[in-house]
Amino acid sequence: MIRDIEITKIIVKTFLEEFLDNLEIDVAIAGAGPSGLTAARYLARSGKKVVVFERHLAPGGGMWGGGIGYPFVVMKQGKELLEEVGVKCFKRDGYWVASSIEAVSKLVSSAIDSGAKIFNGITIEDVMVKDGKINGVVINWSAIKEAKMHVDPVSIEAKCVIDATGHDCDIARIVEKKYGLNTPSKRIEGEKAMWADEGERKTVENTGEIFPGLYVTGMAANAVFGAPRMGPIFGGMLLSGKKVAEIIIKKI
Percent of the chain beyond pLDDT 70? Answer: 100
The reported pLDDT for the residue numbered 213 is: 99
Q: Does residue 56 belong to any structural domain of this protein? A: yes
Q: Does residue 173 belong to any structural domain of this protein? A: yes
Give the β-pairing of 50-54 and 117-120: parallel
Count: domains in the chain: 1
Give me the sign of the Cα torsion angle 32, 35, 36, 38. positive
Residues 55/122, Cβ–Cβ less than 8 Å = yes
Over range 238-252, report the average pLDDT.
Answer: 98
Distance CA 95, CA 90 (A): 8
The reported pLDDT for the residue numbered 66 is: 96
Distance CA 125, CA 174 (A): 8
Q: Does residue 233 belong to any structural domain of this protein? A: yes
The reported pLDDT for the residue numbered 110 is: 99
Domain that holds residue 197: 4-66+108-251
* Average pLDDT taken over every residue of the chain: 98
- pLDDT confidence tier of residue 88, bands split at 50, 70 and 90: very high
Over range 40-60, report the average pLDDT.
Answer: 98
CB atoms within 10 A of CB 31: 30
- Which SS3 state, helix, strand or coil, does residue 167 take? helix
The reported pLDDT for the residue numbered 166 is: 97
The reported pLDDT for the residue numbered 41 is: 99
The reported pLDDT for the residue numbered 72 is: 95
DSSP string of 13-54, one letter each residue = HHHHHHHHTTSEEEEEEE--SHHHHHHHHHHHHTT--EEEEE
- pLDDT confidence tier of residue 31, bands split at 50, 70 and 90: very high
Residues 203/225, Cβ–Cβ less than 8 Å = no
The reported pLDDT for the residue numbered 188 is: 98
Q: Read off the pLDDT of residues 52-79 as tens digits, 9 standing for 90 and up.
A: 999 999 999 999 999 999 999 999 999 9
Q: Does residue 80 belong to any structural domain of this protein? A: no
Give the β-pairing of 72-75 and 95-99: antiparallel
Distance CA 186, CA 10 (A): 48
Tell me, what CATH number does 27's domain have? 3.50.50.60
Q: Read off the pLDDT of residues 108-128 as tens digits, 9 standing for 90 and up.
A: 999 999 999 999 999 999 999
Q: Does residue 88 belong to any structural domain of this protein? A: no
The reported pLDDT for the residue numbered 189 is: 97
The reported pLDDT for the residue numbered 196 is: 96
Q: Does residue 76 belong to any structural domain of this protein? A: no
The reported pLDDT for the residue numbered 251 is: 96
Q: Does residue 176 belong to any structural domain of this protein? A: yes
Q: Does residue 147 belong to any structural domain of this protein? A: yes
Q: Read off the pLDDT of residues 128-171 as tens digits, 9 standing for 90 and up.
A: 999 999 999 999 999 999 999 999 999 999 999 999 999 999 99
